[in-house]
């Protein structure tokens, strides 16, 4: 079990993480979701040791057993796919036949075998993210930290990436990943919803849904615009305390509704 | 559009600084430093009539050494050690004037003045008999190339890691910051060294520039100087987020070195208010070393000052820059008591 406990991080006057506790058990995927500036990357970088805490504790493995995919490409553009993998593997002490076998296995799983000799700069966005993923797992880390691994890539590559993430967890790694795709987050064993550096809710998806308080209604014209958001052609509106007005159409909230509703509740509470 | 452009410009402090500082810098440099005429020539007078001859010299010759017991060999030693631009050897007729050709502009002024004396003085130009500009420029150009590679190319290479986000990845890997820095600068050190050899050989072959001194002493001076420039490159990379910023900042370091190191305009001809800037620049000292060794065959013992200054600069700049870079690679590492590894029983096994 790896964890961030009661972590607070400030950047100047900005509170990036506010008393955040997240546990990442081995063999499971923990997904961190939230809007821009919610604190997702800061949480991941804190666990990776890249951001010092103002208070709180970090329980993480030594660097030798940590794998990290940053939000950027995570690979060296002027090196080939093979050279990128070999460079990182060399730092972790992998060499010879062990490296060849591991590289071949990962390239095959990521469908990158045909691109092994291509420069990273010549890869598509999705292929480059998969290369970054391979570089993060080549040494079989105990803790794998992935910062928005699937952002900006096509749906097929997203499926490939998710399969790779699931395989890493199935083989025992503790995986902490941030994502902006809520359908991805729903598949994780544990969800963490962040907003403004605070944990709004966390737990398995079903528990998060079951524990959601209040009612979400569907409407054409919201009664309180500050509590409403657009979903397709209609608007959804959140009623956290008292129930909706008579005649309003309640809907079963999905994860997107829950994340937005809880974020609005926090922001409106801050404003009031 | 104009308002938008002004807003962007105001927030781009480096470009703004370049736009405001550069004209001021150029004005100061070309106003006070751009002077090829040397009005005071450091002079030594040796031989039995040294005192009498020193008193009789025109004001252009600023006598700093008078040795009545000195010989021609002593005069040559003074010139080789760059203790004087001209050395008069008295006790013979006509008086022998030895001119240090490695200080080109002082030598040109001295020769012009001595030619007016007619047959009273026998003038011999040492180390650069033809007073060729290329002979003094090539040793200085070697320094400029080392500065270019060390400062601009290195800083761009380092900043590229930051831009691509791979620096962040290196930071979480089990590799010591010192090895990252060493791995990053070693190729530039090697390339700069090869460039230096090529330029030196081409200078000798194409321009006939002599190499009279000890190549190992020259290599040592170049290596120390390279550490200064690489340190500057690393430092620039720590204060730049993009390659464009790195180039802009490196330009601030490079331009004064070209104009105020004595490479183009002689230091002794500059106004005192500007000359001191030249004495703060590493290229000034490397030029002293390269010209001294290549043209005058000067031993390290007579070049202790530039060697000493460059060594201090190398230690200070390189250490400071690498510590800053190290801080980028390992933020909060020294003060991370809140970070611990889970107990053995709690850790998951690796996949």
| B348 vs A26, A51, A91: nearest CB | A26
Tell whether the model's pLDDT for residue B335 goes beyond 50.
no
Domain extent listing, chain B: 41-126, 133-329
**Prediction pTM value:** 0.80
pLDDT of B105 higher than 50: yes
In chain B, % of residues over pLDDT 90: 51
Contacts with B318 (C-beta within 8 Å, 6 or more apart), sequence order: B227, B228, B230, B231, B234
**Chain A residue closest in CA terms to B328:** A50
Given a cut of 60, whether residue A93 has pLDDT beyond it is: yes
Domain that holds residue A249: 207-271
Name the residue among B42, B63, B39 with its Cα closest to residue B51: B63
Q: Which pLDDT does position B345 carry in this prediction? A: 45
Lowest mean pLDDT of A247-261, B188-202, B328-342, name the range: B328-342
A125 and A255 both lie in a single domain: no
Lowest mean pLDDT among A19-23, A53-57, B167-171: B167-171
Please count the residue pairs, one from chain A and one from chain B, whose beta carbons lie less than 8 angstroms apart: 102
Residues of A whose CB is below 8 A from B333: 49
Domains in chain A: how many in total?
A: 2
| Average pLDDT of span B324-328 | 83
Q: What integer pLDDT is reported at residue A42 of this predicted model?
A: 95
- Tell me if A77 and B164 make a contact (CB, 8 A cut-off): yes
Residue at a domain's end among A205, A233, A262:
A205
Which pLDDT does position B347 carry in this prediction? Answer: 41
Best residue in A8, A21, A26, A166 for a mutation probing chain B (most B CBs within 10 Å): A26
Together in a domain, A173 and A82: yes
What is the rounded distance in angstroms from the CA atom of residue A176 to the CA atom of residue A22? 10
Rounded CA-CA distance B231/B226 in Å is 8
**According to the per-residue pLDDT averaged within each range, which of A135-139, A255-259, B184-188, B345-349 is highest?**
A135-139
C-alpha A59/C-alpha A2 separation (Å) is 5
The pLDDT of residue B225 is 96
**Using one digit for the tens of pLDDT, what is the confidence trace for B235-283?**
999 999 888 889 988 988 888 888 888 888 888 878 887 888 899 999 9
- Same structural domain for residues A85 and A152? yes
Q: What gap in Å lies between CA B222 and CA B199, rounded to an integer?
A: 13
Q: What is the pLDDT of residues A22-49, one digit of tens each?
A: 999 999 999 999 988 899 999 999 999 8
Look at residue B333 and tell me whether its pLDDT is greater than 50.
no
Q: Measured between beta carbons, which residues in chain B are less than 8 angstroms from residue A52? A: 331-332, 335-336
Task: Give the mean pLDDT of B214-241.
Answer: 94
- Please check whether residues A38 and A169 belong to one and the same domain: yes
Residues A62, A76 share a domain: yes
In which band, very low, low, confident or very high, does the pLDDT at B349 lie, cut at 50, 70 and 90? very low
| Res. B42: pLDDT tops 60 | yes
Average pLDDT estimate for A220-242: 89
pLDDT surpasses 90 at B206: yes
Confirm or reject contact between A88 and chain B (CB < 8 A): yes
On the question of pLDDT at A92 being above 90, the answer is yes
A71 in contact with B, Cβ within 8 Å: yes
Closest CB from B331, B342, B349 relative to A2: B342
A237 pLDDT band, cuts 50/70/90, is very high
Q: How confident is the model at residue A172 (pLDDT cuts 50, 70, 90)?
A: very high
Q: Output the pLDDT for position A10.
A: 93
Q: B-side interface with A, Cβ within 8 Å? A: 164-166, 168-169, 171-175, 331-333, 335-336, 338-342, 346-351
Mean pLDDT rounded to a whole number for chain A: 92
Phi, psi for residue B172 in degrees, rounded to 5 = -95, 0
At residue A271 the predicted structure's pLDDT band, cuts being 50, 70 and 90, is low
Q: Which comes out higher in pLDDT, residue B306 or B118? A: B306
Q: Which residues contact A264 (CB under 8 A, 6 or more apart)?
A: A226, A227, A229, A238
Most A CBs within 10 Å, among B330, B335, B346, B351, to test the A interface: B351
Whether residue A71 is found in the same domain as residue A190: yes
What's the CATH code of the domain at A37?
A: 3.40.50.300
Token reading at A127: 């292929």
Q: How far is A86 from A98, CA to CA, in rounded Å?
A: 11
Residues A201 and A213 in one domain: no
pLDDT at B18: 80
């Amino acid at each position: 079990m790896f964890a961030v406990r009661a972590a607070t991080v400030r950047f100047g006057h900005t509170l990036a993480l506010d008393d955040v506790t997240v546990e990442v058990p081995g063999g499971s995927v923990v997904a961190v979701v939230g809007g821009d500036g919610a604190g997702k990357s800061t949480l991941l970088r804190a666990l990776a040791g890249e951001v010092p805490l103002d208070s709180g504790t970090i329980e993480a493995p030594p660097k030798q057993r940590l794998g990290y995919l940053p939000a950027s490409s995570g690979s060296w553009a002027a090196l080939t796919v093979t050279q990128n993998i070999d460079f990182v593997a060399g730092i972790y002490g992998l060499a010879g036949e062990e490296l060849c076998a591991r590289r071949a296995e990962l390239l095959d799983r990521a469908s990158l075998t045909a691109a092994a000799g291509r420069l990273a700069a010549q890869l598509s966005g999705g292929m480059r993210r998969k290369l970054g993923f391979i570089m993060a797992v080549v040494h079989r880390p105990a803790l794998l930290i992935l910062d928005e691994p699937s952002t900006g890539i096509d749906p097929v590559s997203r499926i490939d990436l998710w399969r790779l993430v699931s395989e890493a967890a199935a083989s025992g790694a503790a995986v902490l990943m941030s994502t902006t795709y809520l359908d991805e987050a729903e598949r994780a064993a544990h969800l963490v919803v962040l907003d403004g550096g605070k944990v709004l809710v966390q737990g398995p998806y079903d528990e998060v849904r079951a524990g959601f308080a209040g009612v979400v209604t569907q409407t054409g014209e919201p009664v309180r615009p500050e509590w409403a958001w657009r979903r397709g052609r209609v608007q959804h509106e959140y009623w956290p305390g008292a129930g909706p007005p008579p005649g309003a159409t309640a809907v079963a909230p999905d994860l997107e509704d829950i994340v937005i509703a809880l974020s609005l509740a926090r922001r409106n509470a801050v404003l009031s | 559009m104009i308002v938008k452009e002004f807003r962007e410009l105001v927030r781009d402090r480096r470009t703004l600084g370049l736009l405001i500082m550069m004209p001021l810098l150029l004005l100061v440099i070309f106003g006070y430093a751009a002077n090829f005429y040397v009005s005071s020539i450091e002079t030594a007078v040796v031989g039995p009539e040294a005192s009498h001859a020193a008193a009789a010299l025109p004001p252009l010759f600023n006598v700093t050494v008078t040795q009545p017991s000195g010989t021609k060999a002593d005069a040559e030693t003074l010139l080789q050690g760059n203790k004087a631009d001209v050395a008069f050897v008295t006790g013979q007729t006509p008086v022998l004037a030895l001119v240090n050709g490695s200080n080109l502009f002082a030598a040109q002024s001295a020769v012009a003045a001595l030619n007016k004396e007619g047959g009273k003085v026998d003038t011999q130009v040492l180390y650069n008999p033809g007073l060729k500009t290329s002979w003094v420029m090539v040793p200085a150009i070697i320094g400029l190339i080392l500065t270019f590679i060390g400062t601009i190319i290195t800083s761009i290479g380092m900043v590229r890691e930051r831009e691509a986000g791979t620096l962040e990845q290196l930071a979480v890997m089990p590799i010591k910051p010192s090895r990252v820095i060493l791995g990053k600068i070693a190729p530039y050190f090697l390339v700069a060294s090869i460039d230096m050899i090529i330029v030196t050989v081409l200078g000798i072959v194409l321009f006939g520039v002599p190499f009279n001194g000890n190549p190992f002493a020259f290599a040592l001076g170049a290596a120390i100087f390279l550490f200064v420039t690489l340190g500057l490159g690393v430092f620039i990379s720590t204060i730049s987020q993009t390659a464009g910023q790195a180039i802009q900042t490196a330009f601030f370091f490079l331009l004064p070195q070209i104009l105020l190191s004595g490479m183009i305009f002689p230091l002794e001809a500059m106004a005192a208010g500007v000359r001191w800037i030249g004495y703060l620049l590493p290229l000034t000292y490397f030029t002293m070393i390269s010209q001294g060794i290549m043209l005058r065959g000067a031993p390290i013992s007579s070049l202790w000052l530039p060697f000493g200054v460059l060594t201090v600069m190398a230690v200070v700049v390189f250490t400071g820059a690498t510590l800053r870079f190290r801080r980028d690679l390992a933020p909060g590492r020294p003060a991370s008591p809140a970070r611990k590894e889970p107990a053995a029983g709690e850790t998951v096994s690796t996949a």
